[in-house]
Each structure stands twice: as C-alpha cells, then as structure tokens.
C-alpha cells in the first residue's frame, strides 16, 4: 500500500520478528524499498512492552519509540522531502488525491511555511467484516494476519477526547519530535482535514459499544484493489507464503 501511495522508502526499527514477516522484510529490503535498522534494545535495557508506563514498567518507554522516530528524522534529513512518522498497522490515506505525492503537492503551496502536518486516526474495528466477502480471497487463507480489504466499517473519532494524530513532516524543519505531537520545529503546523487525508487503522474497536449501524462504511482502500492484490500475491509467492495449490 505504501508503495502504491508513492512512498519511496520504508525504514523499520527491528527488535524482533516472527518467521513469515522476517521473510517478507528480507525480500523488501533486498529490493531496496525497506531499510531495516537493527534495534536490539531488549539486549541492553528492559523496555516497556506497552505505551502506558503505568501498566508496563521498564527502563525505557515502549521500546524506545521516541528515540527511533527522532533517529529516523535525522537519518532522512538530507535524502527525503517528507517523512511519515507512522506505525506498521496504519495507512496514511489521501481521500481526494491518487497518492501522497499529489496530496503534498497540493497541501504544501496552500501552507507554504509549514513543515508539520497532523493526520487524524480513524479506527476500523477488525471484528466487523464486509458481508459480500468480495475480498475474502482463497489464496490468502493460509497467510497469518488481517486482510485489511475485509474491514470497511469505520468509527467516527470522538473529537471531545484526545486524538492520537500521526505526522507527515519535512525533516529539515523539525528539531525534536514525539509520537503524536511535535516538540520543536521551525515554521507552522497544520491539521489536515479528515476529508482530505486520514489514517486507516484496522484494530480492536476504541468505541466498542458502537453498533454496526453507528459505524460509517468506508471503502477507500478498495480503489486500490486492482493494483494491490496482484502485488501482494507476488510478494507472498516469492517468500513461499502463497502455496501453488491455493493460487487462483
């Protein structure tokens, strides 16, 4: 998905990794699309295993995420125009542009002195499946993980509560970042309207009491299915996760 959206490189900080994902990441890094940064923080410190330090004590907050984000920004300063400070399970999705390049080519001239763009997070509860099962594909039945194409029901964020934004930054305009906020930057900051760009985040519900009827149907990901499915099939086949008898 990142590649289809025009991302040129993905940097991943790797503390540990299961066998299937490991094969995929090795394949993507051989192509040069993924840059793996070894991050064996657990060999040196006792990292907290969750974001909430009250629940998960440790020597360093959540595997040192704040450090990795800042390291990534400085690593990218001379080579990338923009950096998305994102998580592996979130897609920063433009809703009015074909990809992130055209999105930024529109936003930047409208906000010339801006180096920090905040993107709102939208949760697609993984317990609700799209009923037609159009993208419940047989060739993926043996692949671990979630098929994001099957989850099209979206919670409307509760904007009276704290919003965990993600950031698109011009790294040269940033001095120090945090996870959902900016600590020190040069120039302006802008909250991108959700109808222009928002995050697709398939996970457990945040507002678990909402019924299906109270969720919004959002099939934006489906606009990419024609390019996404063959690409996913190819990479799965390459690393042996798509067995030949399961192919269409």
Q: Which residues bind ligand NAG (CB under 6 A)?
A: 6, 14, 16-17, 22, 25-26, 36, 40, 98-99, 101-102
Residue nearest to ligand NAG (CB): 6
CA-nearest of 104, 156, 155 to 125 is 155
Length of the chain counted residue by residue: 248
CB of 192 to ligand NAG, least distance (A): 17
- Least distance to ligand NAG from the beta carbon of 125, Å? 30
Nearer to ligand NAG, 39 or 165 (CB): 39
- Shortest Cβ distance from residue 26 to ligand NAG (Å)? 5
CB of 115 to ligand NAG, least distance (A): 21
With contact defined as beta carbons under 8 Å apart, do 228 and 165 qualify? Answer: no
> Of 16 and 113, which CB lies nearer to ligand NAG in the complex structure?
16
User: Given the complex with ligand NAG, which of 34 and 137 has the nearer CB atom?
Assistant: 34
Taking the complex as a whole, how short is the minimal distance between the CB of residue 82 and ligand NAG, in angstroms?
12
**Cβ contacts of residue 82 below 8 Å, gap of 6+?**
100, 104, 168, 169, 170, 171
- Classify residue 147 as exposed, middle or buried by CB count within 10 Å of its CB (0-12, 13-18, 19+): middle
Cβ–Cβ < 8 Å for 238, 137: no
CB contact at 8 A, 242 and 143: yes
- For residues 27 and 207, which CB has a smaller minimum distance to ligand NAG in the complex? 27
What is the closest distance, in whole angstroms, from the C-beta atom of residue 5 to ligand NAG in the complex? 7
Of 16 and 209, the one with the shorter C-beta distance to ligand NAG is: 16
Q: CB 240 → ligand NAG: shortest distance, Å?
A: 15
**Nearest C-alpha neighbor of 131 from the set 152, 145, 146:** 152
Alpha carbon 55 to its chain centroid, in Å, reads 24
Question: Where does the chain have alpha helices with state H?
Answer: 19-31, 65-76, 100-110, 225-238
Q: Quick one: 40 or 112, whose CB is closer to ligand NAG?
A: 40
Helices (H), 91-247: 100-110, 225-238
CA dihedral 234, 8, 198, 83 (to 10 degrees): 140
Toward ligand NAG, which CB reaches closer, 14 or 108? Answer: 14
User: Which helix (H) or strand (E) element contains residue 203?
Assistant: strand 197-203
């Amino acid at each position: 998905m990142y590649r289809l959206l025009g991302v040129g490189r993905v940097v991943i900080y790797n503390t540990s990794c299961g066998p299937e994902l490991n094969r995929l990441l090795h394949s993507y890094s051989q192509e040069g699309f993924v840059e793996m940064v070894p991050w064996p923080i657990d060999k040196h410190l006792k990292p907290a295993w969750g974001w909430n330090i009250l629940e998960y004590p440790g020597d360093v907050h959540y595997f040192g995420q704040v450090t990795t984000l800042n390291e990534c920004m400085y690593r990218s300063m001379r080579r990338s125009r923009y950096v998305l400070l994102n998580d592996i399970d979130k897609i920063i999705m433009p809703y009015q542009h074909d990809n992130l390049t055209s999105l930024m080519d529109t936003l930047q001239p409208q906000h010339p002195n801006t180096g920090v763009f905040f993107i709102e997070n939208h949760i697609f509860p993984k317990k609700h499946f799209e009923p037609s099962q159009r993208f419940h594909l047989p060739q993926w039945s043996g692949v671990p993980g979630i098929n994001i194409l099957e989850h099209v029901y979206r919670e409307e964020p509760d904007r009276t509560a704290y919003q965990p934004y993600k950031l698109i930054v011009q790294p040269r305009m940033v001095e120090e970042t945090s996870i959902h906020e900016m600590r020190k930057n040069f120039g302006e900051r802008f909250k991108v309207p959700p109808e222009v760009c928002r995050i697709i985040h398939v996970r457990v519900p945040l507002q678990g009491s909402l019924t299906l009827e109270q969720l919004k149907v959002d099939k934006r990901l489906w606009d990419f299915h024609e390019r996404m499915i063959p690409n996913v099939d190819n990479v799965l086949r390459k690393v042996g996760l798509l067995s030949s008898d399961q192919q269409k």
